[in-house]
Amino acid sequence: MMTDDQLLRYNRQIMIPEFDIAGQEKLLEARVLIIGAGGLGCPVALYLAAAGVGTLVISDDDHVDLSNLQRQIAHTTRDIGKDKVISVNESVHALNPDTHVMAITNKLEGEVLEEQVKLATLVIDCTDNFPSRFNTNRICVKYRTPLVSGAAIGFNGQVAVFNTEEEDVPCYNCLYSDVDEQQLTCSEAGILSPITGVIGSLQATEAIKVITGIGKPLAGRLLVFDGLSMEFRSMNLSRDVECKTCS
């Protein structure tokens, strides 16, 4: 049962007919694992906390650097040198003290990563490298935990939902089976500040849709954003019957 303060805080969401109190209660009961507290992880964490997700587990082994502040909006100048997850935790707590944050200051891997994925309602990949994405995808497939994946670089970004609980829905490895794992990161190729905000907001939206069962998530689709032309393209994805992860 929600408190009067919660009913007031989340009133604008509860007013949406498709969402209602039932949707809000699902968010309050959810446990979301966010891997990465950088350009994508910051808006994801802030919007999910604002929306009322009950528990956020945030993992990142990096520290706040001056160059991060151009796009990683949960950090401020006074946070330079601080663990990113501690900085995000403080920002989330300031925004919504009812959201519980479990801050993991080391890289999630091995049995610890498996345990966190198994406990999560949903996983959001906010990393910037393919080895981490492939590993997270593999474990999400193993435990059939929905995965919201996002990426951003330059003026471009993309979002997809991989929910292998559903029949014939591809996994991340189906999309990128022969990718060059040495592709450039934002620190090497650059990134326009608001692009991470656009993609992170879309990831948070998809996460809320999956958790509440509202609408049509991007399962089996890839949404591509071009900030220069301000165009979105949606492409259907097929499951790879020879995928080494989900086949």
**pLDDT tens digit string along 185-242?**
666 678 999 999 999 999 999 999 999 999 999 999 999 999 999 999 999 999 988 8
pLDDT recorded at residue 184: 57
The model's confidence at residue 182, banded by pLDDT at 50, 70 and 90, is low
Task: Count CB atoms within 10 A of the CB of residue 127.
Answer: 22
pLDDT recorded at residue 179: 65
How far is 126 from 89, CA to CA, in rounded Å? 16
What are the angstrom distances between the C-alpha of 44 and each of 57, 110, 243? 12, 24, 29
> Would you say residue 52 has pLDDT above 80?
yes
Q: What is the DSSP letter of 241?
A: T
Catalytic residue among 140, 171, 186, 246: 186
Are the C-beta atoms of 187 and 34 separated by less than 8 Å?
Answer: no
Q: Which residues contact 114 (CB under 8 A, 6 or more apart)?
A: 139, 142, 143
- Options 3.30.2390.10, 3.20.20.150, 3.40.50.720, 3.30.70.100; CATH for 4-236 is 3.40.50.720
> Would you say residue 150 has pLDDT above 60?
yes
What mean pLDDT comes out for the span 63-82?
97
The more confidently predicted of residues 45 and 240 is 45
Task: Count CB atoms within 10 A of the CB of residue 245.
Answer: 20
Least confident of 13-17, 24-28, 128-132: 128-132
> Would you say residue 34 has pLDDT above 90?
yes
* Sequence letter at residue 88: V
pLDDT recorded at residue 101: 98
How far is 244 from 76, CA to CA, in rounded Å? 42
Mean pLDDT score of the chain: 94
CA-CA-CA-CA torsion for 133, 135, 137, 141, nearest 10 degrees? 180
Are the C-beta atoms of 154 and 193 separated by less than 8 Å?
Answer: no
186 labelled catalytic: yes
What mean pLDDT comes out for the span 72-78?
97
What predicted TM-score, i.e. pTM, was given to this entire model?
0.95
Strands (E), the chain: 31-35, 55-59, 100-104, 122-125, 147-153, 156-162, 221-226, 231-236
What mean pLDDT comes out for the span 134-163?
96
> Would you say residue 42 has pLDDT above 90?
yes
H-helix segments, 78-143: 84-95, 110-119, 130-143
Are the C-beta atoms of 218 and 204 separated by less than 8 Å?
Answer: no
